[in-house]
Amino acid sequence: MKEREITALETALGYNFRSRALIGQALTHSSQAREQESQQAGESKYRVSDNEQMEFLGDAALALVTAEELFQRFPQFREGELSKLRAHLVSERHLICVAQKLELGHYLRLGRGEEKSGGRSKTALLVDALEAILAAIYLDGGLEAARQVILGKIVTPELERMDREGETLPLTDFKSALQETLQSLGMPQPSYVLVQEAGPEHSKTFTVEARLNSKDGASGAEFVGRAEGSTKKTAEQDAARQLLAYLAAQPKPAGTRPGERIARG
């Protein structure tokens, strides 16, 4: 691998390797390693390292850093919600997008057969290489270095994208969860009120209140959740989340568990 290619990849990752051997191994597919071994002769044969074991370590580092970030960022989430969000962030479907943005296919070291079969664009090979690179960063610079790359390239950009597109809580619908919870408690459904709309057309901010109506029909809301978002949908979901948190904190009547249906499939 040429020095200028390593430099270009380091720039894309935002990390400079002290050990060129580690990044080289992370990009070496088993087909290339076995091909190099087959070309050796006599007693001078030696095993050529590939990225298979590094994938294992990188996958573990990715899972740990992602779980820690979600735990700290979303203290109000239940275990099921955290697990679903982590599963999305470490999924092949998401990681292939990251690998493609980094143009990892350009840097892969492949055997001739894998090269001919289009290995540089194969999802499995690209995702494996991404995980191996994370392992290389961990081995080269420690967990903090790996954390910075994982958050900067994999976790944070996707969370921000979901927020922009009204997917603040992927795989979780707080409005529906709130509706079900209120039904189970025999309480009236909430009112969602747009209380403010600000900013230019291309970058508006919406402020929404979710008002929890009293069970006895008394005037005035029992509790009001207020949230801002780049879309009304985002703001409504966050306001609904606040109502769910409020209900979950209330004394639980016998036989009921307020908020027990927050996590959805």
pLDDT at 143: 97
| Position 12 pLDDT exceeds 70 | yes
Three-state SS for 195? strand
Do 125 and 38 fall into the same domain? Answer: yes
Do 149 and 28 fall into the same domain? Answer: yes
> Is 59 among the catalytic positions?
yes
pLDDT band at 46 (very low <50, low <70, confident <90, very high): low
Number of domains in the chain: 2
Catalytic residue among 59, 114, 209, 222: 59
Any domain includes 254: no
Three-state SS for 49? coil
Three-state SS for 99? helix
Any domain includes 263: no
Do 152 and 190 fall into the same domain? Answer: no
Q: Looking at residue 211, which CATH number applies to its domain?
A: 3.30.160.20
Q: pTM of whole model > 0.85? A: no
Q: What is the DSSP string of 26-46?
A: HTB-HHHHHHHHHT--GGG--
Q: Which of 140, 164, 188 is the last residue of a domain?
A: 164
Any domain includes 193: yes
pLDDT at 3: 81
pLDDT at 216: 66
Do 155 and 35 fall into the same domain? Answer: yes
Q: Which of 134, 164, 194 is the last residue of a domain?
A: 164
> Is 238 among the catalytic positions?
no
Do 66 and 114 fall into the same domain? Answer: yes
Catalytic residue among 131, 140, 209, 236: 131
Three-state SS for 173? coil
Residue range of the domain that includes 47: 3-164
Higher pLDDT, 252 or 69: 69
Higher pLDDT, 256 or 251: 251
pLDDT band at 204 (very low <50, low <70, confident <90, very high): confident
Do 83 and 198 fall into the same domain? Answer: no
